[in-house]
């Protein structure tokens, strides 16, 4: 409790009981001089009574939607000279709080961890000294001229940036991701067991994907949750592809072939 609150309580107790002042001040741990000071202050006439009325009028006139800067500006235009700090303090004392509209919670498809995530073995070092040592994969969306959407799932070799395999489809599902990985594994020579790095999408957490990795001796690696720079080399490939007319035409043509 503040000394002002203690003073109000002491005055109330003195009216309702016959307890001496010294006992009350000692119980509430306030000195007699502080009590007398606060008591005199409470009895003094409020020098900002009119300012409080003006603040409340301006705040209510704005429908309770404007803050202390707006109120201060209105006071200044009306010829009242007062600092912003005083306006802010008086608004708080008068309970003039702006009622902000709460935004609706955005949709979030995250439903929790569906399986254990392997560690991030790449650690943003997207370099390999030989082919088929480090692969990257992800799924991206393309908006086609026909207003349809297509999804691309490539497997990229970090040795030379070669697209080892890719699939394109109408939906970003597990079958799309699994198909591109199976095609990439079909290009491996005996003894080649690359690290396959991806984000934490559900496509790379299902038993089907895990089974393909285990069956071909691939070592799984995953980015940190919600950290796109951990797979920035693959994101960069998507950016370059989308910023070229040839890349967009290739996606459009591949999509039409699949749908034919």
Task: Please check whether residue 111 lies inside any domain of the structure.
Answer: no
The residue out of 81, 101, 121 marking a domain boundary is: 101
Task: Supply the pLDDT for residue 187.
Answer: 94
166 phi and psi angles, rounded to 5 deg: -155, 155
195-198/163-169 β-pairing: unpaired
Produce one character per residue of 78-92: b if its CB has 16 or more CB atoms within 10 Å, e if not. Answer: eeeebeeeebbebbe
As a whole number of angstroms, the distance between CA 212 and CA 180 comes to: 11
Residues of the chain with pLDDT under 50: none
Find tokens 């491996």 and name the residue: 188
172 shares a domain with 96: no
Residues 35 and 72 in one domain: no
Same domain, 163 and 61: no
229 in the same domain as 148 = yes
Last residue of some domain: 86, 101, 116? 101
Q: Are residues 67 and 177 in the same domain?
A: no
Residue 35 and residue 68 in one domain: no
Within-domain flag for 122:
no
Buried b (16+ CB within 10 A) or exposed e, 100-133: eeeeeeeeeeeeeeeeebbeeebeeebebeebbe
Please tell me whether residues 162 and 250 are part of one structural domain: yes
Give tens-digit pLDDT for 14-54: 888 888 889 989 999 999 899 888 888 877 777 888 898 99
* Structural domain total, the chain: 3
pLDDT of residue 230: 92
Task: Report pLDDT digits (tens) over 151-186.
Answer: 999 999 999 999 999 999 888 899 999 999 999 999
pLDDT of residue 40: 85
**Residue 53 domain boundaries:** 45-101
Is position 63 within any domain? Answer: yes
Q: Which of 216, 171, 172, 176 is nearest to 196 (CA)?
A: 216
Q: What is the pLDDT at residue 112?
A: 66
* 188 within 8 A of 216, measured Cβ to Cβ: yes
One domain for residues 151 and 184:
yes
Are residues 249 and 157 part of one domain?
A: yes
Residue 108 lies in a domain: no
Judge if 34 and 151 occupy the same domain: no
φ, ψ (nearest 5 deg) of residue 66: -115, 145
The reported pLDDT for the residue numbered 83 is 93
Say yes or no: 152 and 97 in one domain: no
* pLDDT value at residue 16: 87
Whether 173 maps to a domain, the answer reads yes
Based on the domain organization, do 64 and 36 belong to the same domain? Answer: no
**Beta-carbon count within 10 A of 159 CB:** 16
Please give, one letter per residue, the 3-state secondary structure of the chain. CCHHHHHHHHHHHHHHCCCCHHHHHHHHCCCHHHHHHHHHHHHCCCCCHHHHHHHHHHHHHCCCCCCHHHHHHHHHHCCCCCCHHHHHHHHHHCCCCCCCCCCCCCCCCCCCCCCCCCCCCCCCCCCCCCCCCEEEECCEEEECCCCCEEEEEEEEECCCCCEEEEEEECCCCHHHHHHHHHHHHCCCCCCCCCEEEECCCHHHCCHHHHHHHHHCCCEEEECCCCCHHHHHHHHHHHHHHHCCHHHHHHHHHHHHHHHC
pTM of the model: 0.55
pLDDT at 248: 57
pLDDT at res. 132: 95
């Amino acid at each position: 409790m503040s000394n002002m609150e203690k003073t109000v309580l002491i005055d109330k107790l003195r009216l309702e009981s016959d307890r001496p002042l010294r006992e009350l001040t000692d119980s509430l741990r306030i000195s007699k001089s502080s009590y007398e000071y606060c008591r005199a202050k409470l009895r003094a006439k409020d020098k900002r009574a009119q300012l409080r009325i003006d603040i409340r009028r301006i705040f209510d006139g704005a429908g309770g939607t404007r803050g202390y800067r707006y109120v201060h500006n209105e006071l200044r235009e009306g010829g009242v000279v007062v600092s912003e700090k005083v306006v802010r303090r008086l608004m708080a004392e008068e309970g003039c709080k702006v009622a902000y509209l709460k935004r609706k919670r955005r949709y979030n498809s995250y439903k929790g961890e569906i399986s254990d995530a392997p560690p991030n073995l790449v650690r943003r070092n997207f370099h390999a000294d030989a082919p088929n040592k480090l692969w990257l994969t992800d799924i991206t969306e393309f908006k086609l001229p026909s207003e349809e959407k297509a999804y691309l799932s490539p497997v990229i070799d970090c040795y030379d940036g070669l697209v080892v395999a890719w699939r394109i489809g109408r939906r970003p599902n597990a079958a799309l991701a699994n198909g591109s990985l199976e095609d990439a594994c079909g290009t491996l020579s005996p003894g080649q067991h690359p690290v396959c790095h991806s984000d934490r999408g559900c496509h790379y957490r299902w038993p089907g994907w895990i089974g393909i990795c285990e069956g071909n001796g691939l070592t799984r690696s995953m980015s940190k949750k919600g950290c796109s720079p951990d797979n920035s080399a693959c994101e960069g490939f998507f950016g370059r592809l989308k910023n070229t007319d040839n890349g967009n035409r290739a996606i459009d043509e591949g999509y039409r072939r699949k749908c034919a």
